[in-house]
């Protein structure tokens, strides 16, 4: 093995080295997926564009603009109209997040964050959402998160690794010291491309590429996650 090769070092990683956990936000910490769905549904109804929950599920992890492009398919609209629609969708979405409270944390998140603090793990949130700084304070978890970032701080959105690499850098950790928790196919792909550990939440059809997959964080202990990672490698 050549220790000078970053590539091979990444392949030699073991879960023993994990010192930080990088969370996706939407669909991992909080179920904003439903709010995104209702906001897109309102917009597409107004525009007479077909949309349903199945399409919404393919938008997980994509930026707002990438989501609209996916919804539009090969329909052509001028840039000014696209910008107006993006702005309108976000207005609908902001109405939903204005009502959010710590009760909107997904089951298991609060306990896991406490455990990570006790275990001395560093924590970050790396989201595709431009609204990350509006959502996090509403969830009452800011005191247990060291770094909050999103894809607007980097060049490329998920599935590119940029936002996770940026979060790791901010935490002062190398990629192999980080575990990413994701609910999106694009997010798992981004975590693996970053050379990080990946925990996928949801069906294997969606997040099966991750090192380990769980239905949710409900009742999940930090030692369970580490144990599963050890048996997965
Ligand atoms: C998350 C969600 C996506 C959403 C994106 C952008 O990744 O999973 O469904 O489109 O964030 O969110 P924003 O708050 O910027 O519209
Ligand atoms: Mg997500």
How far does the centroid of ligand 2 lie from the alpha carbon of residue 59, in Å? 9
The structural domains of the chain, ordered by start, are 3-31+102-232 (3.40.50.1000), 33-97 (1.10.150.240)
Q: What is the pLDDT of residue 111?
A: 97
Q: Reply yes or no on whether the pLDDT at 5 is more than 50.
A: no
26 counts as catalytic: yes
111 noted as active-site residue: no
Model confidence pLDDT, tens digit, residues 183-198: 999 999 999 999 999 9
Q: From atom 10 of ligand 1, which residue's Cα is the shortest distance away?
A: 64
Residue 5 Cα distances to 8, 12, 85, 227, 233, angstroms = 6, 11, 46, 28, 21
pLDDT, one tens digit per residue, over 59-96 is 999 999 999 999 999 999 999 999 999 999 999 999 99
Q: Per-residue pLDDT averaged across 215-228, rounded?
A: 96
Q: What is the per-residue pLDDT for 12? A: 55
Instruction: For 158-185, write each residue's pLDDT tens digit.
Output: 999 999 999 999 999 999 999 999 999 9
Atom 7 in ligand 1: residue holding the nearest Cα: 61
Q: Residue 233: what pLDDT? A: 80
Q: Describe the strand order of the beta sheet including 147-150 as a list of residue ranges.
A: 147-150, 122-127, 20-23, 178-182, 197-201, 212-214
Residue 7 has pLDDT above 50, yes or no: no
- Which residue out of 87, 129, 138 has the highest number of ligand 1 atoms within 8 Å of its CB and is therefore the one to mutate? 129
Pocket residues for ligand 1 (CB within 6 Å)?
Answer: 26-27, 36, 59-64, 67, 90, 93, 127-131, 184
Name the residue with the closest Cα to ligand 1, atom 11. 129
Ligand nearest to the CA of 182: 2
The gap between the terminal CA atoms of the chain, to the nearest Å, is: 18
């Amino acid at each position: 093995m050549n220790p000078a090769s970053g590539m091979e070092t990444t392949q030699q990683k073991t879960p023993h080295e994990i010192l930080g956990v990088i969370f996706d936000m939407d669909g991992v910490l909080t179920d904003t997926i439903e709010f995104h769905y209702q906001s897109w549904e309102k917009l597409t109804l107004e525009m007479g564009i077909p949309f349903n929950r199945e399409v919404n599920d393919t938008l997980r992890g994509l930026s707002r603009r990438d989501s609209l492009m996916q919804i539009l398919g090969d329909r052509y609209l001028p840039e000014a109209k696209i910008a107006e629609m993006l702005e309108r969708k976000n207005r609908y979405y902001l109405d939903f997040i204005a009502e959010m409270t710590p009760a909107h944390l997904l089951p298991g998140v609060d306990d896991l964050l406490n455990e990570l603090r006790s275990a001395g793990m560093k924590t970050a949130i790396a989201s595709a959402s431009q609204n990350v700084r509006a959502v996090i304070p509403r969830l009452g978890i800011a005191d247990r998160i060291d770094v909050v970032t999103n894809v607007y701080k980097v060049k490329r959105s998920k599935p590119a690794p940029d936002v996770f690499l940026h979060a790791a850098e901010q935490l002062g950790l190398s990629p192999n010291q980080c575990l990413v928790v994701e609910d999106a196919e694009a997010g798992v792909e981004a975590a693996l491309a970053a050379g990080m550990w990946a925990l996928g939440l949801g069906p294997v059809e969606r997040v099966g590429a991750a090192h380990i997959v769980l239905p949710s964080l409900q009742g999940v202990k930090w030692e369970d996650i580490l144990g599963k990672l050890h048996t997965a490698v």
